[in-house]
């Protein structure tokens, strides 16, 4: 079963991120852009102080691209690293990762996971003020 169902995603051949973001208002929000059997792509907008719970995807890789703002990433056993617009991160299959938004501006982040499965370990209960991707 897919984590992001095809019916939940926009799945358009062309998507204008600025127009999508402009219609969704203030952070936090999540927009499902693509939901196919092989991948899911979401656009995330999080306020300062927002954080995900550390999690992993047992059968999938995940890439992240910062669109605007700053993010602090922890991936695997590497030390936390602050990144900004235009930077791309990779969490390999089974690699623990977490994201937090430092003080300052909100974060706009594109996240893609493939394959798009809701298997064991894919869904975890988020802590207060946190979410999984």
pLDDT tens per residue, range 47-102: 999 999 898 888 899 999 999 999 999 999 999 999 999 999 999 999 999 999 99
CA 35/CA 6 separation, integer angstroms: 5
Beta bridge partners of 107: 46
CA-based max dimension of the chain = 38
CA 109/CA 69 separation, integer angstroms: 9
| CA angle 32–26–8, rounded 5-degree value | 15
CA dihedral of residues 119, 44, 73, 41 (deg, nearest 10): 50
Domain range list for the chain? 28-114
pLDDT of residue 126: 43
Q: Is the pLDDT of residue 130 over 50?
A: no
**pTM given for the model:** 0.87
* Domain covering 28-114 assigned CATH 2.60.120.10 in the classification: yes
pLDDT of residue 16: 95
Distances 76 to 5, 81, 98 between C-alpha atoms, Å: 28, 12, 9
Closest by Cα among 87, 104, 106, 2 to 44: 106
pLDDT of residue 47: 96
What mean pLDDT, rounded, does the chain reach?
A: 89
User: What average pLDDT score do residues 25-33 get?
Assistant: 93
Work out the pLDDT band at 41, boundaries 50, 70, 90: very high
């Amino acid at each position: 079963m897919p984590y992001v169902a095809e019916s939940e995603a926009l799945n358009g051949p062309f998507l204008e991120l600025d127009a999508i973001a402009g219609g969704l208002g203030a952070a936090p929000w999540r927009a499902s852009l693509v939901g196919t059997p092989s991948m899911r792509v979401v656009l995330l907008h999080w306020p300062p102080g927002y954080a995900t719970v550390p999690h992993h995807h047992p059968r999938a890789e995940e890439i992240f691209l910062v669109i605007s703002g700053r993010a602090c990433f922890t991936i695997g056993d590497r030390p936390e690293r602050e990144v900004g617009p235009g930077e791309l991160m990779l969490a390999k299959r089974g690699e623990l990762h977490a994201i937090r938004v430092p003080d300052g501006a909100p974060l706009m982040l594109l996240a893609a996971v493939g394959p798009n499965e809701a298997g064991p370990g894919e869904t975890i209960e988020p802590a207060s003020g946190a979410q999984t991707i």
